[in-house]
Structure 1
Amino acid sequence: MPESVTLVRSDTLTDQVDYAYAAVVDLPSARAVWTAGACPLDTDGNTVAPGDYVGQAHQVMHNLKAALDSAGVDRTDIVKTTVYVASADQGDLVAAWTVVRSHLGEHDPPSTLLGVAALGYDHQLVEVEAVALAR
């Protein structure tokens, strides 16, 4: 059993959120990391690229990378992602998914892609959460 959970905040991401960017559990043989949903926020806490699924997906993946870096893991340590897109249009989901996949490169962990009614920030269209495991 892990001795503790470390909540990770990143000084490279906005401090205008009321949650940790990741949680880390150091196990005897591995480090497990669960991220909060990465959102399309700039360092001032503003939603970038309003109305633009592709633009927001790029910002989300940039922010996810920063959260993973702050937690001491890499994108190649991701074992599962969940991608949320505020749309009922499959084309919007595919547009966001294409960006997510491009940022993961050859590493293609299992993922769930969901169309949802709304996300938490003004004008937010895309969010991605991840689970990572590193030895």
Structure 2
Amino acid sequence: MTTPVQLVRSARLSDAAEYAYAAKLPADAELIFLAGSCPLNIDGSTAAIGDYAGQAAKCIENMHIALEEAGATIKNVVSTRVLVASNKQADLVEAWEVVRDAFGDHDVPSTLMGVTVLGYDDQLVEVEAVAAIGGTPRTA
């Protein structure tokens, strides 16, 4: 499956970021807005209670399913927002490393945020994403 997503990098910006700084799509691409992917098991219970990395992994697992249902894969993701219920940078980094590794070389623009609370009992991580399918493929 080809992706219409073109990641944008810049030598004029810090190389400390572990993701592209922007992404572009052709005008005829179809956007997919995913609800925040939560660390929920199919029965509605929260997975990996107390474990930032475990919850991030469950979020990614659930995101793969939502993308598949919408006719896309992780390579179709345009951008993400990773929400972590913590005021400790180490907790944010723990969740981020799981998300970053899941995307591999498709390192889409992303925002990592510490928040005070998320919507489900014992929830520590949520991953929002926008994806795109179709469109005229871009040439490099």
Q: Per-residue deviation at 1:105?
A: 1.2
TM-score, normalised relative to structure 2: 0.75
Counterpart of 1:90 in structure 2 is: 89
Structure 2: 5+ residue runs without aligned partners?
Answer: 1-26, 135-140
Listed one character per residue, the Cα deviations across residues 22-54 of structure 1 (whole Å, up to 9, x for unaligned) are xxxxxx832210000000000101001110001
C-alpha distance in 1, partners of 2:48/2:107?
26
**Map of 1:17 onto structure 2:** none
Q: Which residue is 2:42 aligned to?
A: 43
Question: 2 CA distance for matches of 1:134 and 1:32?
Answer: 7
Structure-1 residue corresponding to 2:69 = 70
Q: C-alpha separation between the residues in 1 aligned to 2:103 and 2:34?
A: 16
Percent identical:
54
Equivalent pairs counted in the alignment come to 109
* AA at the equivalent of 2:111: T
Greater RCO, 1 or 2 (C-alpha within 8 Å, sep 6+): 2
Say what the alpha-carbon RMSD is for the aligned residues.
Answer: 1.4
Q: What residue in structure 1 maps to residue 16 of structure 2?
A: none
State the distance in 2 between where 1:98 and 1:63 align: 17
Flag as ranges the 4+ runs of structure 1 deviating above 4 A. none
Match for residue 52 of structure 1? 51
**Letter of the aligned partner of 1:63 in structure 2?**
N
For structure 1, list consecutive stretches of 5 or more residues without a partner in the other structure.
1-27
TM superposition score normalised by structure 1: 0.78
